[in-house]
Amino acid sequence: MKRLKYNDIDIEQINEVTWLIPPRDGMLVPGKIYADRKMMESIIKEDESIKQVMNVAMLPGIQKYSIAMPDIHWGYGFPIGGVAATDMTEGVISPGGVGYDINCGVRLVRTNIKYPQIKESMEAITKSLFQNVPTGVGASGAIRKLKPAEMEAVLSKGARWCVENGYATDEDLECTEEKGCMEMANPDYVSYRAKERGLNQVGTLGSGNHFLELEMVTDIYDAQAAEVLGLFPGQIVMMIHCGSRGLGHQVCEDHLRVLNQATRKYGIKLPDRQLACAPIQSEEGQQYLGAMAAAANFAWANRQIIMHQAKKSFLETFQISEADLGFHLIYDVCHNIAKVESHDIDGEMKDVCVHRKGATRAFPPNHPLTPAPYQEIGQPVLIPGDMGRYSFISLGQQQSMLESFGSSCHGAGRLKSRHKAKKEGRGKDLMAEMRKMGVVVQARGMRTVAEEMPYAYKDVHQVVDVMHKAGISSKVAKLVPVGVIKG
């Protein structure tokens, strides 16, 4: 077998795109990383995310593997791109395996419009989207400021609240992970400060790597699946990437303080304090899960209202009917979450808590949790790239249930830190560079654009191909950006 060295550790290549780290130094299970050889060499060289994979393997109750996707890079506690499942009785819950932006996710909407029809109107539509969808740090005011009772309802009901208030349809819920609501949500465990931060932020995009993109379908790899998804070459689709905003960040911060104390209280020994955790069945563990689920519900409502606001922009800009626009949700998938799911553990179906930090569900055809419209083809996996190249739509495959707890990659993964990206962008006309790529950009400030230029990211095509070769998620279509709004 081929091997690569990480410090004094032999990492074994078990097939073209899968690597194993043998248990050592307190690891309870092996580490498993999906990457081709070139990627793996880069991962070893670039940062300490492999060390984080090994650290996660030391969490009490972890099952089978500590897993990392090909978009792996350094994160808080867990690597971004990390997946871990813990036993519901003896295992722990760790906010580091979810992240600060709880239920950061991706939503993809299709239209009946072809790019040539609106090519000359790209400036107009991106400006309208920029006006209707507040962006940037502290962005607010997409809809009215919620009353405290409405906030409680959003945290409890998620996207269902949007249906009740005219921002969504039942069809939207059917095409949203968990139908847009985690039932275990408990707003009582969300602090007053967190709720206060969210009152005026529902329907807003935020900053950093969050975006709203208009994209054109350029390549179809699976014609049958594309037909089910409603995709065709030249089509304009819209991708939204954002999460739970300041509310989710505050929930994480609040509960990290509690779980840091719980780690000591329960005598849990950890290699990294950023893996602060508590037994799932403990009071602290249950409180975090209830608050996390409430923040996840807020995020689904947030993306749903962004979609509603964006639809207004299309109708107003192009002066067409809703029937002609054909504005329909394909899917909404989250990638910073922990969920109780049933998986095969050593030949026995068992409930486990699956942490996905920068990784998404990739459930196969005929799985009970694969949405009804996609039972025959598998759950859509939405994988954004950078704002200058391309994004992909894939479908979950049966192999994901055998190898990765039904999980796949979530994006390109950063290649350069924000600081390095900004440094490289100094003195450049970044907007002109994007126009040369055929992309119209509207942004709150140049700092975010500099941090998010294409050269700051891995080539998402390589990331998606690793998952395709592994049989975890199969490619359906490639999308290229033509209009982008950012904070």
Full DSSP string of 83-144: EEEEETTT-EE-GGGT-SSTT-EEEEEEEEEEHHHHGGGHHHHHHHHHHHS--STT---SSP
Predicted pLDDT at 46: 84
- Residue 23 above 80 pLDDT? yes
Residues 6+ apart with CB under 8 A from 399: 470, 471, 472
Mean pLDDT, to the nearest integer, of 70-83?
A: 96
Q: How many domains does the chain have?
A: 2
First to last CA, the chain: 47
- Residue 132 above 80 pLDDT? yes
Measured CA angle at 210 (ends 292, 142), to 5 deg: 80
- Residue 237 above 80 pLDDT? yes
Mean pLDDT, to the nearest integer, of 329-347?
A: 97
> Of 326, 355, 328, 303, which Cα lies nearest the Cα of 177?
303
Co-location of 16 and 129 in the same domain: no
Please tell me which residue, 52 or 416, carries the higher pLDDT value: 52
Predicted pLDDT at 216: 98
Co-location of 189 and 85 in the same domain: no
Mean pLDDT, to the nearest integer, of 227-242?
A: 98
Name the band, by pLDDT with cuts 50, 70 and 90, for residue 121: very high
Name the band, by pLDDT with cuts 50, 70 and 90, for residue 376: very high
Of 296-310, 389-403, 440-454, the range with the lowest mean pLDDT is 440-454
Residue recorded with tokens 């949007």 = 162
CATH, residue 373: 3.90.1860.10
Co-location of 77 and 184 in the same domain: no
Please tell me which residue, 485 or 1, carries the higher pLDDT value: 485
Co-location of 388 and 409 in the same domain: yes
- Residue 487 above 80 pLDDT? no
Mean pLDDT, to the nearest integer, of 61-84?
A: 97
Q: Is the CB of residue 305 less than 8 Å from the CB of residue 71? A: no
Q: State the pTM of this model.
A: 0.96
Tens digits of residue pLDDT in 273-292? 999 999 999 999 999 999 99
Co-location of 474 and 441 in the same domain: yes
- Residue 417 above 90 pLDDT? no
210 is catalytic: no
Co-location of 356 and 378 in the same domain: no
The string of DSSP codes covering 156-224 is: HHTHHHHHHTTS--HHHHHTBGGGG--TT--GGGS-HHHHHHHTTTTT---STT-EEEEEEEEEES-HH
**Of 306, 328, 361, which closes a domain?**
361
C-alpha 279/C-alpha 275 separation (Å) is 13
**Of 361, 392, 415, which closes a domain?**
361
Predicted pLDDT at 321: 97
Predicted pLDDT at 397: 98
**Is residue 485 helix, strand or coil?**
strand
Chain centroid offset of residue 155 CA: 19
- Residue 425 above 90 pLDDT? no
Predicted pLDDT at 414: 83
Co-location of 330 and 347 in the same domain: no
Catalytic residue among 210, 255, 410, 468: 410
Most distant pair of Cα atoms in the chain: their distance:
64
Q: What is the CA radius of gyration of the chain?
A: 21
Co-location of 270 and 410 in the same domain: yes
Domain holding 256, by residue range, is 105-339+367-486
Percent of the chain with pLDDT over 70: 100
Name the band, by pLDDT with cuts 50, 70 and 90, for residue 1: low
Of 181-190, 206-215, 344-353, 427-436, the range with the lowest mean pLDDT is 427-436
Q: Is 282 exposed, middle or buried (0-12, 13-18, 19+ CB in 10 A)?
A: middle
**Of 361, 396, 415, which closes a domain?**
361
Co-location of 134 and 87 in the same domain: no
Average confidence score pLDDT of the chain: 95
Mean pLDDT, to the nearest integer, of 210-215?
A: 96
Tens digits of residue pLDDT in 441-475? 999 878 888 889 988 898 999 999 999 999 999 99
Predicted pLDDT at 285: 98
Co-location of 346 and 333 in the same domain: no
Co-location of 188 and 92 in the same domain: no
Predicted pLDDT at 415: 81
Predicted pLDDT at 296: 98
Co-location of 272 and 418 in the same domain: yes
Mean pLDDT, to the nearest integer, of 31-44?
A: 96
